Amino acid sequence: MKAKIDKWYKSNYDNVKLITKMHIARLGKNLDPEALIADSYLYVIGREPKDDAEIERMVYGFIWFELTRWNSKTNRNIFWVNEQPSEDLPCNQNTDILLNIDIESFENTLDRIERIVWDVYYHRGISTKRALAEHFQIDDSSAFLYIKAVKDKFKEYAKTENRL
């Protein structure tokens, strides 16, 4: 399987790099496209795709996710606040400075239930009320309230740490 993935990357590397650069430029990120492609390679190797079409979907899907989602590995500890505000972000982005949030310190302020919700929401990337409701097998309104409570607590933490 690794040989098939290596062959795909070798024959499509220039195209993947070009598309990655275009996405990075369009989104206004300051990232190294080759590092992102290397991360996509590790991601694909760990998933064992069946054919070339699935490899292609995984590569481009991974790159797009890493560039657009605030809770991706690439963006996990840094929030780019000069972009458009997103409803997924648990903080206010109305300033144009780069925030470095110490996630571990924030997690220490959470109680047991909030920490479980935060882990699923932030670390696992389940960030919609429906997905969270399905994950915990609860109703949508309860999932919404859990997400809102954790986001509000995050906002308060950021304010008290003079991060906003």
Residue 46 pLDDT greater than 90, yes or no: no
Task: Name the more confident of 16 and 48.
Answer: 16
pLDDT digits (tens, 9 = 90+) for 2-38: 889 999 999 999 999 999 999 888 887 777 888 889 9
Question: Six-digit token pair at 117?
Answer: 């919700």
pLDDT band at 163 (very low <50, low <70, confident <90, very high): low
pLDDT for 157 beyond 90: no
Q: What is the pLDDT of residue 55?
A: 92
Predicted confidence at residue 80, as pLDDT, reads 38
> For 73-113, how does the pLDDT look when each residue is reduced to its tens digit (9 = 90+)?
776 534 433 333 444 444 444 333 335 567 788 888 899 99
Contact criterion met (CB below 8 Å) for 23 and 67: yes
β partners of residue 99: 79
Please give the mean pLDDT across all residues of the chain: 79
Tokens matching residue 84? 């458009």
C-alpha 60/C-alpha 111 separation (Å) is 37
Is the entire prediction scored with pTM above 0.75? Answer: no
Between CA 155 and CA 164 the distance in angstroms is 8
Could you give the residue ranges of the DSSP H alpha helices within 48-139?
Answer: 52-68, 103-108, 112-118, 129-136
> What is the share, in percent, of the chain residues with pLDDT greater than 90?
22
Mean pLDDT of 51-79: 79
pLDDT beyond 90 at 127: no
